Structure 1
C-alpha cells in the first residue's frame, strides 16, 4: 500500500496509539494473501481468524478482538488512551513493554494530544513508508516488502536493534 493513497482514518488508528496500516496482519489482510496464510499457520489460526482491518473495525484478529483497551475506552467514552485521567494505566504499560512495534506508544499518544489524530496519522504514514517506493511496511519488515530497500522505513531504522533482539533473541547458555 502506497502512502499516497492512504488518508487519515479513525478506524485504523488504534486506541492505544498503534498505527494499524503498519500491522503485519493488517497488511496481510488488505494486500498480501500469502503473508496472511503464513501468519495464520504461525498463529495456529484459520485465515479468517487472522484477518484484521483495523482495531476499530468489525474484522479483527482474535488478539485484537479481546483488547482490554478497546473495552476500557468504550466504558470511559474516550477515543484514545491518552485522554484518560488514569493514563498510562498498568494495562497499557504492560502492553507497551511486550513488543518492539509498541515502543512509540507514549510518543503517539502525546502527538495525538498535541496535533490531533489526523496529523499524527500523516506522521505515521511517513514513519512506516519506504523512502524509495513509499510502500507502508510493518515494524518487522527489515527490508521493504515491495522494493527491498533497507531499512524498510524510518521506524525500522530508529528501532532496528530492539526489533532484531525481539525476532532473533540471543540464547544464553
Structure 2
C-alpha cells in the first residue's frame, strides 16, 4: 500500500481514523449497522422478553439501541478530510496544515502542548508518533488497522 493511501487512514496525530467509531467506513459503524439490521424490530419485543424471561436486563434495551443507533449513524471521513468529530478542539489538524507536515513526529517542536489532548491521549500521541518514526508508516499501519482502538 502506498504512503498516500495510508495517510487517508492515519490522522496527522497518528491515530488510525478507520478504527474510530465515528468513521464512515470503519468496522464499528459497519458492524453496528449489521447488528441493527439483524435485530430488526427487537425493541418491540424487549418488554415481552423482560416479562416472559423474568430478566430485567431487557429494560436496558432502549439504552443499548440508542447507543447502537449512535454508532451506526456517525459518518466522519477522517481527520485529513474534515475536522475531527470527537475532539472538536484538537490542535493537531490546524498545526499540521500550517506546517505542511504529514505527522507530528516530523515537527521540530514535537512533542508540544498544542494538541489540546487530555493526559491519557497525550501520552498515547507521543508513543504513536515515536512508533511511526521508528518502524515506518507502512509497518505501523499494518499493525494498527486490525487492532482495536479502544
Higher relative contact order (Cα pairs below 8 Å, separated by 6+ residues)? 2
Contact 1:30 1:53 in 2 (8 A): no
Contact 2:12 2:92 in 1 (8 A): yes
Contact 2:10 2:141 in 1 (8 A): yes
* TM score, norm. by length of structure 1: 0.52
Indicate the residue corresponding to 1:118 in structure 2.
Answer: 138
* TM score, norm. by length of structure 2: 0.58
CA 1:98 to 1:118, structure 2 compared with 1: closer, same or farther past 3 Å?
same
Q: Compute the RMSD of aligned alpha carbons.
A: 2.9
Secondary structure at 1:55 match in 2: coil
Instruction: Using the TM superposition, give the Cα deviation of residue 31 of structure 1 relative to its aligned residue in structure 2, in angstroms.
Output: 4.7
Whether 2:97 is the aligned partner of 1:74: answer yes
**Matches for 1:74-153 after TM superposition, within 5 Å:** 74-92=97-115, 94-99=116-121, 103-125=123-145, 128=147, 137-139=148-150
Question: Which ranges of structure 1 fall in alignment gaps of 5 or more residues?
Answer: 1-7, 41-46, 129-136, 140-173
- 1:56-91 residue CA offsets vs partner (Å, 9 max, x unmatched): 135x65346764211111110100011111111112
Indicate the residue corresponding to 2:81 in structure 1.
Answer: 57
Contact 1:16 1:109 in 2 (8 A): yes
Contact 1:73 1:81 in 2 (8 A): yes
Indicate the residue corresponding to 2:53 in structure 1.
Answer: none
